[in-house]
Structure 1
Amino acid sequence: MMINNSESIREALKVYFIMGSPNCKGEPAQVLKEAIEGGITLFQFREKGMGALTGVSKYELAKELQQICKEHQIPFIINDDIELAITLNADGVHIGQEDEDVANVRKKIGDKIIGVSVHSYEEAMAALGGGADYFGIGPVYPTKTKEDAKPSNGTKLIQELRMKEVTIPIVGIGGITAENAGAVIKAGADGVSVITAISHADDVTEAAKSLRKNVLESL
């Protein structure tokens, strides 16, 4: 599935689900299928944290989840592992400030999607200059998923970028739930990205549905 213009990326960011095996209570493939049924619009494979798979096991899980995304026409993005993204011909990658330089990643993956986590106006401008397709901004609210997460900053940076007429697609991340998703959209984000709000839900499909409903109502 090829989405490489900012309007199609903006659409895809609405309900952005991030997950790897350490984030799931059940089988990752089943969790992903249920999340797709609930209406997620983009999926990022992020295999990090305690007990994360590596090597062949990581590759096989990525391939299985990518196949599910293909069948349902959901863009499939890989967190941080550029080589894996190239091997699998993923739809794109998402990188953080500690990862490889955006311009280098762009050279490696051509016209695929590059998302970049940014925490300040300066980081945002540098990522834009390097060829980023969208920004992940957060943590908007406190989060326990990332052990090294920066302090939550609310929607301040999203609002600042929009006030300065930065039009790149933006997704908010960190501590987002169906209840607070609307505020993130109203601040100027095009979508919200979540991990545990979906992957730890008792009913994954319902959790995704309720997140999607609140995002769409706030756009």
Structure 2
Amino acid sequence: MREFRLYAITGEEYHPGRSMLEVMEEAIKGGADIVQLRDKKGTKREILEKAYALRELTARYNVTFIVNDHIDIALACEADGVHLGQDDLPLSEARKLMGKRIIGISTHRIEEARAAEAEGADYIGVGPIFPTKTKEHAKPVTTEYIKQVEREIKIPYVAIGGIKLHNVDDVLAAGARRICAVSEIVGSPDPAETCRAFIRKIEAYTGGDKQ
């Protein structure tokens, strides 16, 4: 998969009165280089319609597009990949359907990270690092988990969960070089500038290079 630094996830509840496409386009213009459609409440038809729209947008900007959970929708709209949780279809079965497309896996402890790497995940999510409303019942894994993954895991990983501009330095100091945010980006009055601010923070640790 193409390298990335800033992973933006949709969250329409955080920007009432503004369209999803408008907000995500601003995020892309600000530097988000991978976009995920995450919709836990819509019907299949509603999610598919959003997926087609985001596929068109991300293709126009040459940005990687991932669909959360729904392999059928990812395939239907020709997304670049799918992101799965620990309770979703096993990675081995997902690979049969997805072929060479990207498969990302959420992990919450090092054993899950090891398993995802061994089974052929293209990247893993590491989190939630901090408390987050998108995963209210999940216990934060803290930056200690980042340090474990940084020591052991060779495939790309992205830190996620409660990450804001005011605490992202702690995440980067722990070793992460790929950051994912939801509310901090899509809930911002200026998503583009928020993304640029995240990129500046990342570049302070990478010297401006993508890892």
Displacement of 1:20 in angstroms is: 4.2
What 5-or-longer segments of structure 1 have no aligned partner? none
Displacement of 1:120 in angstroms is: 1.3
- Among 77, 82, 97, which residue is 1:93 paired with? 82
Kindly provide the amino acid, as one letter, of the partner of residue 197 in structure 2.
S
**Is residue 2:32 matched to residue 1:44?**
no
Give the whole-Å Cα distance in 2 for the aligned partners of 1:20 and 1:54.
Answer: 16
Kindly provide the amino acid, as one letter, of the partner of residue 12 in structure 2.
S
Equivalent residue for 2:8? Answer: 17
Equivalent residue for 2:133? Answer: 144
Displacement of 1:128 in angstroms is: 1.3
CA deviations over 1:58-108 (Å, ceiling 9, x no partner): 211111111111000110000010110111111011111011101111111
Equivalent residue for 1:60? Answer: 49
Give the whole-Å Cα distance in 2 for the aligned partners of 1:62 and 1:182.
Answer: 32
Give the whole-Å Cα distance in 1 for the aligned partners of 2:114 and 2:158.
Answer: 16
Q: Please give the root-mean-square deviation of Cα atoms over the aligned residues, in Å.
A: 1.4
Kindly provide the amino acid, as one letter, of the partner of residue 162 in structure 1.
E
What 5-or-longer segments of structure 2 have no aligned partner? 207-211
Equivalent residue for 1:72? Answer: 61
Give the whole-Å Cα distance in 1 for the aligned partners of 2:65 and 2:74.
Answer: 9
Is 2:11–2:186's contact at 8 Å kept on the other side of the alignment? no
2:165 is paired with a residue whose SS is: coil
Equivalent residue for 1:128? Answer: 117
Give the whole-Å Cα distance in 1 for the aligned partners of 2:120 and 2:194.
Answer: 33
Equivalent residue for 1:170? Answer: 157
CA deviations over 1:191-219 (Å, ceiling 9, x no partner): 11011001111111111111111112122
* Structure 1 segments of 4+ aligned residues over 4 angstroms from their partners: none
Q: Which TM-score applies when normalising by structure 1?
A: 0.88
